[in-house]
Amino acid sequence: MTSDLPEATGELTGVAAELAAGPAAGALTGVPGIPVSAGALIFDRKGRLLILKPTYKSGWTIPGGVMEADGESPWRACQREVREECGLAVSTGRLACVDFRPPRPGRPGGIRFLFDCGVLDDAALGAIVVQPEEIARYRIARQDAALRLLRGPIRRRVRAALAGSGPFYLEGGRPVVGLR
C-alpha cells in the first residue's frame, strides 16, 4: 500500500520547530503576538482601593503590567508587578475578569486579566514603596473616587469587577452581548 503522506523523518518543522527551539529563537511565524497584562484590585479594611499614578502616562491606574514572554502566567505577572510597583506581596486572589482590548491603529490591543487580591492590613499598606521610575505616587481611595480617577478602559474593567461576583469576560471593558 502506498501513502500520499511524506516520509516521517523525526525532524520538527514550522511552528513545532520554533516552539521546540524556545523563546530565544524569536517570534513564532503565524502565531499572533497579543500583549497580555495582569492587574490587581487591592483594598484596605474600609473597602478603599489602591490606585497608582504612573510617570509614563496620564491618569491613574491599578497595580499591574505586562506579562513576561518567558512563560510567566497571568497570576504570576500580577504578583510580580504588584511587588515591583509598590513593594507588596500578594499571595491570594481570585480572577475578577478577563478583558479583550481590540487593536486600533498604532495599538496592538491585547488581553487584560484582573485579579481581586482582597484586603491587606494597615501594616502592609503602610509599607508601600513605589517604583519611582514608573510610579509617581499612590492613593488609597474610596471606590467611587477611584473610579473617577482611573483611565477609561481600566475604569470600565474595575467597575465591572466591583459590581458583581464575576469572573467576567469583557471586550473593551464592556460586557459582551450573549455571554452570561
Q: In this predicted structure, what is the pLDDT of residue 52?
A: 98
Per-residue pLDDT at 76 exceeds 80: yes
Lowest mean pLDDT among 15-19, 64-68, 130-134: 15-19
Mean pLDDT of the chain: 86
What is the SS3 string spanning the chain? CCCCCCCCCCCCCHHHHHHHHCHHHCCCCCCCCCCEEEEEEEECCCCCEEEEEECCCCCEECCEEECCCCCCCHHHHHHHHHHHHHCCCCCCCEEEEEEEECCECCECCEEEEEEEEEECCHHHHHCCCCCCCCEEEEEEECHHHHHHHECHHHHHHHHHHHHCCCCEEEECCEECCCCC
Q: In this predicted structure, what is the pLDDT of residue 6?
A: 42
Q: What is the mean pLDDT of residues 143-149?
A: 98
35-174: CATH class: alpha beta
Residue 152: how many other CB atoms lie within 10 Å:
10
> Measured between alpha carbons, how far is 72 from 89 in angstroms, rounded to an integer?
17
Q: 87 or 21: whose pLDDT is higher? A: 87
Cα separation values, 134 from 55, 68, 81, 82, 86, Å: 5, 17, 11, 12, 10
Q: In this predicted structure, what is the pLDDT of residue 31?
A: 60
- The domains of the chain are located at 35-174
Per-residue pLDDT at 4 exceeds 60: no
> Measured between alpha carbons, how far is 74 from 112 in angstroms, rounded to an integer?
9
